Amino acid sequence: MLRKLYDHVLRLAAGRHATASLAAVSFAESSFFPVPPDVMLAPMVFAKPDKAYFYAFVCSAASVLGAIAGYAIGYFLTPVGEFILRLTGHADGMPQMMEWYDKFGVWVILGKGLTPIPFKLVTIASGVLHYAFVPFLIACVVTRAGRFFIVAALIKRFGPAIQPVIEKRLALFTVIFLVLLVGGVLALKFLH
């Protein structure tokens, strides 16, 4: 099953709608969707390494637009933003987030934007807390572009060497990715 899904994503990554799909997933992950865009970015760079930085740019730009949407949800539709945070188990952490923003400011956005923790938590919380928009936007651009360009560069550089290893041990790498993702979310919960 995992092999079929992997092969399907590789076919999608090489298809004519791959870039639009990558943009949609990147936008959605920053505002309401739980799946990180890396699951599409990596296979797309594997399929077309010469377009790695273009894909990283698309991913970054769409993610920043999604971050603006997430911020707007929190700012203008606070009850909806709080509902989304409750659905993800983070509504009770708002006092902690307020404390973090007071202590660390923009570093909260920069730090969480580079991790596998769902970025929508930061974007929506920033809007709910009415964090200053311009520093929020700058931090989103820096952190999202940083993350996706690093991922694209690493896969472009080491992809041909590691792709056969990943394909041979696909289940193992999937488990490692899920452990990192769940571990990041649990770490966030414990920090709250």
Domain that includes residue 169, residue range: 2-191
Q: pLDDT tens for residues 113-163?
A: 776 667 888 899 899 989 999 999 999 999 999 989 988 998 888 876 666
Global confidence as pTM: 0.76
Q: pLDDT tens for residues 164-177?
A: 665 565 556 656 65
List the alpha helices (DSSP H) in the chain. 2-14, 18-31, 38-47, 52-76, 78-87, 94-104, 106-113, 120-128, 133-168, 170-191
Domain count across the chain: 1
> Mean pLDDT for the chain?
79
Taking the C-alpha atoms of residue 81 and residue 123, their distance in angstroms, rounded to an integer, is: 10
The answer to whether 192 touches 96, Cβ cutoff 8 Å, is yes
Q: What percent of the chain has pLDDT over 90?
A: 28
